[in-house]
Amino acid sequence: MRATARIALALSATALLAACGGGRLVGNEEYGTDNQREMILRQTGRNPADAGIVIFGVDRSRQQEQASGGAGMAVNAFLWRATLDTLSFMPLASADPFGGVIITDWYSPPGAPGERFKATAYVLSRQLRSDGVRVQVFRQVLRGNQWVDAPASAATNAEFEDRVLARARELRTQSAGR
């Protein structure tokens, strides 16, 4: 009975503490374990929550890994791949996955040989967000034998961004199915 009283008092104190709020949920990985698999995974630097094979449901750890592009990428992988896909009709001048910058070379559409375009895209976020990509399109027109800067329609930038986001959403959906 004395033991039960002690436990009841401890539980009361705990419940009062919980009522105050401000607590932090202790993750399962913060508790000790006697499970051989978990001990080995923890000791060899692998997260037990991500190891193994998902046989039912969506493997979010893989999604997160893909989204962050693993250790080699600093920006959202879906946005990065979507930007590359969207701008792939133009020749690529440079692509920096760490800075998130894609610069294309000048490109003349077959139907309009008198003008050419160049695009610079910035992937700004690690998260898949609608404001995570910015595209700037530059336009030049041929005057005589000289290419001269000309304003590009402001809507063009927004259209490119919309296409990138739509493609990113597509890639994300495809990945969730796996």
Partner 1 sequence: MRKILLGTTAVVTAVLAGAPMASAQQAPTVRIGGSIQAYAGYIQQSGSFSQPGTNYTMQAFAGQPGALTVSTPTGTAIIPNNLAASGVGNHARLGKFDFIAIPTVNVIVSGKLANGLTYGGQVDIVFNNESRAILPGSTNALGTSRTAAAMDEAYVFVAHPRFGQVRFGDEDGVMGGLMNSGWITGFGTGGVLGIWENFQTRQGGNRTQTAPGGLGDNTKIVYMTPQFFGFDFGVSYAPNLGTGGQHGCPNDTNTGLCDRSYAFSGATSAGIPARGGELGVRRNEWQTALRYRGNFSGVGVSATVGWIYGNAAKDLTDLGAQRRTMSDLNIWQVGAQVSYMGATLGAMYQRGDFNFFWGNPVRGDRTGEQLVLGAQYTNGPITVGVNYTNTLVEGGARFGFSSSTGLMTRGVPGVSSTGALQSTNQAMMRRWGLGIGGNYRLAPGLDLIAEYVYHSIRERGRDLDAGRAGIQDRMFTNTFILGTRLAF
Contacting residues toward partner 1, per CB under 8 A: 1, 3-26, 28, 31-46, 48-49, 51-60
Alpha-carbon Rg of the chain, whole angstroms? 26
Within 10 A of 17 (CB to CB), how many other CB atoms are there?
A: 11
- Minimal distance in Å, beta carbon 17 to partner 1? 5
Of residues 56 and 89, the one with the C-beta less far from partner 1: 56
33 half-sphere exposure, CB direction, 13 A CA radius: 15
- Minimal distance in Å, beta carbon 7 to partner 1? 6
Of residues 16 and 155, the one with the C-beta less far from partner 1: 16
- Minimal distance in Å, beta carbon 129 to partner 1? 15
Of residues 12 and 130, the one with the C-beta less far from partner 1: 12
DSSP letter assigned to residue 107 = B
CA distances (Å), origin 172, targets 89, 91, 144: 22, 25, 46
Of residues 63 and 136, the one with the C-beta less far from partner 1: 63
Amino acid at 65: E
Rounded to an integer, what distance in angstroms lies between the CA atom of residue 139 and that of residue 74?
30
Of residues 19 and 155, the one with the C-beta less far from partner 1: 19
Vertex 144: Cα angle to 115 and 136 (nearest 5): 30
- Minimal distance in Å, beta carbon 36 to partner 1? 5
- Minimal distance in Å, beta carbon 40 to partner 1? 4
